[in-house]
Amino acid sequence: MDPIVIIGTGLAGYGVARELRKLDRETPLHLITGDDAVSYSKPMLSNALASGKTADHLALASAEDMGRTLHAVVHSHTRVTALDIPGRRLRTERDEMPFGHLVLALGADPIRLSPEGDGAEHVRSVNDRGDYARFREAIAGKRHVTILGAGLIGCEFANDLRRAGYAVAVVDPAPQPLGRLLPPQAGAFLRQRLERSGVRFHFQCTAQRIDRDGARLAVTLSDGETLSTDCVLSAVGLRPRTNLAAAAGLGVGRGVRVDRCLRTSAEGVYALGDCAEVEGLVLPFVMPLMAAARALGATLAGRPTPALYPAMPVVVKTPDCPTVVCPPLAGSSGAWQETEGEEGVTSLLRDPAGRLLGFALCGDATAEKRRLAREIAPWLAAN
């Protein structure tokens, strides 16, 4: 019997392997990754500094441990170079491997900015444990970090760095933090609370140049201001890894295109997680990833199962301003109703019939997360 092969050992790859093994312990299973295949929680990367956690502290299980747990062969430090879909084989830097079913859990790469200046090559990003270890080393004994991007990851790192004792500046072309997720009043509340903690925001501008300035870096902004900093961290977003799939002739758009059963354009080939575009949606959050893993595990075990996405609030790890967002479906129409109290903001998006389409909660208002998620769930399930 040809094995099920999963490319990727992040939350998506190991997640679907776990779900498969709950239903099927016998089908041969191989997992392949270019890194050390250590199991860890990637979302922890953006809030581990203040608690003093090293990259080793984030490790949950070794490749060997995962292989034993999953009754699988885990191929670490092995890069897949090509897929032969008609021949049901894949090539690595070492050899070839047949597959019966193939799962692409390839993840995503950080979007790279291209500012001018001889310091641009020193811009860092944190997308895995290795990146995190190098970032910790780079800022050890330093004082100031500039973050490019005030989205979810940028805000989480900003809050974590402040709690770890660093001075932090955040640069973003949007007028507020979490510009793609939060309505204005909630965004203003988050900004106020993070500024109160010591974060300095520079909105509606970009980094035009990054130059070396002795042992430091000089970041020249589009509004003419120059920031002196020890380290620049880029957190402007991720781009799904699609090159391997595209080269094999699979359908790709913003990600590897799949239907609700996570099927690609080729029979027996699936994709999930940060690399996948599910019926036009890229869902780079933990809850939809786990929902997809459960469905795909069942499908691979012989029980075809579509991924069902109930209300999936996103918890933003900014302890100085607890924030939860349940984004509305793409194309939703309605008006945000925002209510601010002394210690929080409640933002609700309803359609003309009064149905809840999405919500954002900041501060003490996050206590309403479960109630609102229950209210929105039936509407999402029907769509």
Domains 112-234 and 322-381 share a fold: no
Tracing tokens 């007028």 back to the chain, one arrives at 175
Per-residue tokens: 325: 């967002």
What number is the average pLDDT over the span 273-291?
91
φ, ψ at 56 (rounded to 5°): -65, -35
User: Which pLDDT score, from 0 to 100, does residue 231 have?
Assistant: 98
Average pLDDT of span 354-373:
94
The helix (run of H) or strand (run of E) holding residue 290 is helix 286-300
Distances (CA, A) of 62 to 45, 76, 381: 18, 10, 38
CB 344 within 8 A of CB 193: no
Q: Among 129-133, 175-179, 305-309, 378-382, whose mean pLDDT is lowest?
A: 378-382
Local confidence band at 353 (pLDDT 50, 70, 90 cut-offs): confident
State yes or no: pLDDT of 262 exceeds 60. Answer: yes
Q: What is the pLDDT of residue 330?
A: 64
For residues 372 and 356, the answer to whether their CB atoms sit within 8 Å is yes
Q: Helix 11-23 and helix 63-70: axis angle, to 10°?
A: 30
The whole-number average pLDDT for the span 333-340 is: 87
Q: Which CATH number fits domain 4-109+238-300: 3.50.50.60, 3.40.50.2000, 1.10.1490.10, 3.30.70.1520?
A: 3.50.50.60
312 band by pLDDT with thresholds 50, 70 and 90? confident
Instruction: Parse the chain into domains and list their residue ranges.
Output: 4-109+238-300, 112-234, 322-381
Q: To the nearest 5 percent, what fractions of the chain are helix, strand and coil? A: 30, 30, 40
SS3 state of residue 45: helix
What pLDDT score does 377 carry? Answer: 65
Q: Is the pLDDT of residue 243 over 60?
A: yes
pTM attached to this predicted model: 0.94
**CATH number of this structure's domain 112-234:** 3.50.50.60
Window from 110-124, 244-258, 285-299, 364-378 with minimum mean pLDDT: 364-378
CATH placement of domain 322-381 = 3.30.390.120
Q: What is the pLDDT of residue 327?
A: 87
Q: Give 180-211 pLDDT, tens digit per residue.
A: 999 999 999 999 999 999 999 999 999 999 99
pLDDT in tens, 7-48: 999 999 999 999 999 999 999 999 999 999 999 999 999 999
Output the CA–CA distances (angstroms, integers) from residue 64 to 36, 54, 69, 71, 254, in the order listed.
10, 21, 9, 10, 34
Rounded to the nearest angstrom, the gap between the alpha carbon of residue 311 and the centroid of all alpha carbons in its chain is 18
Band (331; pLDDT cuts 50, 70, 90)? low
Cα dihedral value 248, 250, 254, 260, nearest 10: -140
CA distances from residue 31 to 82, 103, 129 in whole angstroms, order as listed: 15, 9, 19
Please report which confidence band the pLDDT of residue 290 belongs to, taking 50, 70 and 90 as the band edges. Answer: very high
Tokens of 190: 């988050």
pLDDT digits (tens, 9 = 90+) for 116-148: 999 999 999 999 999 999 999 999 999 999 999
* Residue 379: per-residue pLDDT: 52
Phi, psi (deg, nearest 5) at residue 77: 50, 40
Residues 280-312: b if buried by 16+ CB within 10 A, e if exposed: eebbbbbebbbbbbbbbbbbbbeeebebebebb
Contact call for residues 334 and 305 (beta carbons, < 8 A)? no
pLDDT band per the 50, 70, 90 thresholds, residue 170: very high
Q: What's the burial of 275, exposed, middle or buried (CB within 10 Å: 0-12/13-18/19+)? A: buried
pLDDT tens for each residue of 87-103: 999 999 989 999 999 99
